[in-house]
Structures are given as structure tokens and as C-alpha cells.
Amino acid sequence: MRSLRSILLLFFVLICAIPAQADWSLWQEYTTISAEEKPFITLEVRNFYSRNWPPRAQWRATNRSKQTLYCAQLGKRVYILSHGRKEIKGPQGCRTLASGETAVFLNDTVGRNGDRIHQMSMDVFSFDLEKGKNRQQVPL
């Protein structure tokens, strides 16, 4: 009897958890910024989909150079949802990235429950090579 209750309880928990499951996609390379014909920064993006939650996008940057990048910042991001609606998010970031370090930026929540992101783009990625000096803006 005890094992039957345990099995029923486990079954109930699994049934309740299945609709709540949501999936992050795998990271996909958005672009690699090069300097002197060597990879300098790699930008990647992934998205989140669930029927019960609005979609989200998450960006990450990897410093592939030998120098520290100060105030690494995502530029304006544009998301086009599967039904054609467009959402724009402002600049985000100001993270310091040591050589070889990866930074994951805050999620962008776009659309409504059950929507899907059809297309994502970013206008510029910016950073300082010296703290507070030598600001670089790389158009994407």
C-alpha cells in the first residue's frame, strides 16, 4: 500500500511538472568580432520558450583577446516575434571581462505567453580598452 501511494505521488508530481517545463535553446554564435585577423570577442545568444511564460533571450560575450575589456555593453537589441510584432530593448551591461572570461547578460523578456522569437539582432557592442578611456563601438 505504501509503495502504491509513493508511485501515485511520483506520477502526480511528474504530470504537474511537465506543462511547467520550458526550454532554453542551445547557445548559438551571433558573431565574432576580430582584430588584426584574430578573434577578439564572441557574442552568442539563446532563447527560452514556454507556453506559460513570455519568451526570453539571453546574450553572452566571451573575451578572446589578451587584454581586459572594461564596461562591455550590449547595444540596442531588436526582437521580431513569430506573428510579426517587433520589440526593442535598450543598451545593457557595463561588465568587465578579463582575458578568456565569459559574461552572461540579463535576460530580455519579450512578447506574451506562448509567443516565439522569430529573429534577433543587435546594433552595436561597445567596450573600453582602458578604464574610462578609449571607448570602442563595434557595429554588428
Q: How far is it, in rounded angstroms, from Cα 125 to Cα 44?
A: 12
Is residue 10 in some structural domain?
no
Average pLDDT per block of 10 residues along the chain, 140 residues long: 58 50 86 93 94 93 96 96 93 94 96 91 94 87
Is residue 20 in some structural domain?
no
Is residue 96 in some structural domain?
yes
Is residue 66 in some structural domain?
yes
Enclosing domain of residue 71: 25-138
Is residue 16 in some structural domain?
no
Query: Locate cell 539582432: which residue?
Result: 121
Give pLDDT, residue 93. Answer: 85
The burial of 56, by beta-carbon neighbours within 10 Å (0-12 exposed, 13-18 middle, 19 or more buried), is given as buried
Give pLDDT, residue 131. Answer: 85
Give pLDDT, residue 79. Answer: 96
Is residue 94 in some structural domain?
yes
**CA–CA distance from 70 to each of 25, 63, 101 (Å)?**
29, 11, 12
How many independent structural domains does the chain possess? 1
Q: How far is it, in rounded angstroms, from Cα 120 to Cα 113?
A: 18
**CA–CA distance from 107 to each of 19, 80, 110, 130, 133 (Å)?**
22, 16, 9, 27, 28
Is residue 8 in some structural domain?
no
Q: How far is it, in rounded angstroms, from Cα 39 to Cα 101?
A: 14
Is residue 4 in some structural domain?
no
Give pLDDT, residue 15. Answer: 54
Helix (H, G, I), strand (E, B) or coil at 37: coil
The CATH code of the domain that includes 101 is 2.60.40
